[in-house]
Amino acid sequence: MGNGMSKGEKGVSSSSSETGFQDYMTDILNKGTLAIMLSIGHRTRLFDIISSLNNPSTSKEISLKAKLNERYVREWLGAMVVSRVIEYDSAHKTYWLEKEKMDFLTRASSSYNFAASMQWIPILAQVEDDIINCFQKGGGVHYDSFKRFHEVMAEESAQTVVAGLFDFILPLVPGLEENLMRGISVLDIGCGSGHAINTMAARFPRSKFVGYDISEEAINKARSDGQQLNNKNVSFNVNDVSNPQVMKTNFDLVVAFDAIHDQRDPANVLKNIARIINPDEGIFLMQDILGSSFLEKNINHPLGPFLYAMSCMHCMSVSLAQNGTGLGAMWGKEKATEMLKDAGFANVEVKTLAHDFQNYYYVAKIT
């Protein structure tokens, strides 16, 4: 496949900044493909299997334990070794995963499983043709075109929202946990597969929880997980939250985890939320992407390229596919605050969590 990228090969002398850029591009080519290999390692459970083996193992031992084809496993291991993810003993042809790396690559991870997040890259890649068509003709790519979206979103949500819910996110609102213990009504807007709300329902049996999502697939999963948890205080409905007709009941707490910026009509959704929130004590807790509305302020964002790409190929596009506003994931704090105020929230606080550089937490009240 040789792409002839070695330096100076074309006999053109390059300045040091050109060389730097060439190295940068080479690095991206390597890492872009590596991201897909990491995703494969997650989906085939190879990282989990290699960790469980505990000892340096041959490709045959690994593939037997994983019930996978040895030839494919060996080539994947090659990619992992040259990228310094997996260790290799050439004398014994054995492979192993160092303990400190297991924590970032396995399902048993107590920190953040990056291999799970790498699944976003192939999810985006599958709609590349459709997105190019949108570049040429406008429009967008519908949610249904993103195969495995809800499954991967649920995994992501488990390790971001759910993992931090009780220790970090709910404590952002003083007194909220006590109120949930006592018994209040809660609505989750764009609840997806319902991980967050099912977890809260199990923890706070005196409160009543409702989840709305436009996706039937996501709501079915949320319902079956709720039944498995034997949650009696939660219900899920396939609903379009931009429709004022379905946003009628009042709630003490409305939450939206990563579910506002990709709406068809986010301004209307925020207005619907403001209308159904208990006007005295009600809280709207909105988790959304950490960023500025001004591109120049996002240049050093640690996840800037990933977030703009996700926005272009998914968040903005799913909104445009419904003739929506195409706000995009990088709508930013300034725009979000302004839209919350326009919707009727007079009191908006923007909070961050020390360990979470991807999200803002907006605590909004009517008065």
Ligand X SMILES: C[S@@+](CC[C@H](N)C(=O)[O-])C[C@H]1O[C@@H](n2cnc3c(N)ncnc32)[C@H](O)[C@@H]1O
Q: For binding to ligand X (CB under 6 A), which residues are involved?
A: 143, 153, 157, 161, 190-192, 212-215, 218, 240-242, 257-259, 262-264
Rounded to a whole number of angstroms, the minimum distance from the CB of residue 246 to ligand X is 9
Comparison of 45 and 142: residue with beta carbon closer to ligand X: 142
Classify strands 208-213 and 185-189 as parallel, antiparallel or unpaired.
parallel
Comparison of 63 and 263: residue with beta carbon closer to ligand X: 263
> What is each CA distance from 96 to 75, 172, 184, 317, in whole angstroms?
15, 41, 50, 41
Rounded to a whole number of angstroms, the minimum distance from the CB of residue 20 to ligand X is 36
Rounded to a whole number of angstroms, the minimum distance from the CB of residue 63 to ligand X is 33
Comparison of 86 and 285: residue with beta carbon closer to ligand X: 285
Comparison of 98 and 167: residue with beta carbon closer to ligand X: 167
Classify strands 283-289 and 356-365 as parallel, antiparallel or unpaired.
antiparallel
Rounded to a whole number of angstroms, the minimum distance from the CB of residue 47 to ligand X is 23
Comparison of 41 and 190: residue with beta carbon closer to ligand X: 190
Rounded to a whole number of angstroms, the minimum distance from the CB of residue 288 to ligand X is 10
Comparison of 63 and 272: residue with beta carbon closer to ligand X: 272
Comparison of 225 and 262: residue with beta carbon closer to ligand X: 262
Comparison of 204 and 257: residue with beta carbon closer to ligand X: 257
Q: Which residue has the tokens 């007194």?
A: 175
Rounded to a whole number of angstroms, the minimum distance from the CB of residue 214 to ligand X is 4
Q: Which residue has the tokens 């907006």?
A: 362
